[in-house]
Amino acid sequence: MLRLGGKELFSRFLIGTARYPSPETMRQAIEASGSEVVTVSLRRYGSGKWDSNAFLNLLKEMQLNILPNTAGCYSVKDALTVSRMAREVFNTDWIKLEVIGDDYNLQPDPFGTVEAAKILIKEGFEVFPYMTDDLVFAERLLDAGCKVLMPWAAPIGSGRGPANPHSLRTFRARFKDVPCIIDAGLGKPSHAAAVMEMGFDGVLLNTAVSLARDPVEMARAFAMAIDAGRKAYQAGMMPEREFATPSTPVVGTPFWHQEKK
């Protein structure tokens, strides 16, 4: 069971709603994922190629938890405005806070993100902050009142998978009592399994599913990988070694290899 924003969730897969070929494909992919939380951009919701009301009604029919995001915001002011509008449109205090600081890799602005988080939390929002794996950045967000951390594995849409596994393992160990969701950079189900094996609490992704040749099957594959990674983490994986160790004991066996003369 995963507890986020005051709600208990069975699924550890949070999925996006952008760039699907059709609303029906999106619906089927979300169902295949088993996700109970979907992210929605207010900007895309209001200006996309699909009918906005039909899109929102579809999500409501599926009885999903909607996590609006502030994608495309490059300033604190814009992020605050979009967050407040999203609360009215989607009737939720949840917000995935994104304050972008760099055009090249869409890296978040740590100063702007922390500033916006402080304001939104005072206004009663549950802030889900998009961030890097920087430990100081994380500490400042927790000090601001965030109850969940969402570090990236790699830049948004890159599909590279964990760019710095050591940093992610350090991040997870440092904030072991805080729900931590990997947000951005995963391109393959194996990437999702890898971060779940590190002990992360869940995965949020969009592009790897929506742009797949078969988004529905890809959503199903990611769901299975996330579940497998979580089970492996809970079961306790064997430690890595620098040398070979036989799985079958050799002491006491009747035959021994002898050196040829």
Catalytic positions: 96
* In 48-201, beta strands by DSSP E: 65-69, 94-97, 126-131, 150-151, 181-183
CA distance 3 to 219: 22
Q: Are 109 and 100 in contact (CB under 8 A)?
A: yes
Please give the structure tokens belonging to residue 243.
């040398």
- How many residues are given for the chain? 261
**254 burial via Cβ count (<10 Å: 0-12, 13-18, 19+):** exposed
Residue given tokens 């036989």 in the structure block: 246
Least Cα distance to 42 among 97, 84, 75, 82 occurs for 82
* CA 206 to chain centroid: 9
| Type of residue numbered 101 | G
Task: Assign 146 to helix, strand or coil.
Answer: coil
| Type of residue numbered 201 | D
CA distance 128 to 40: 13
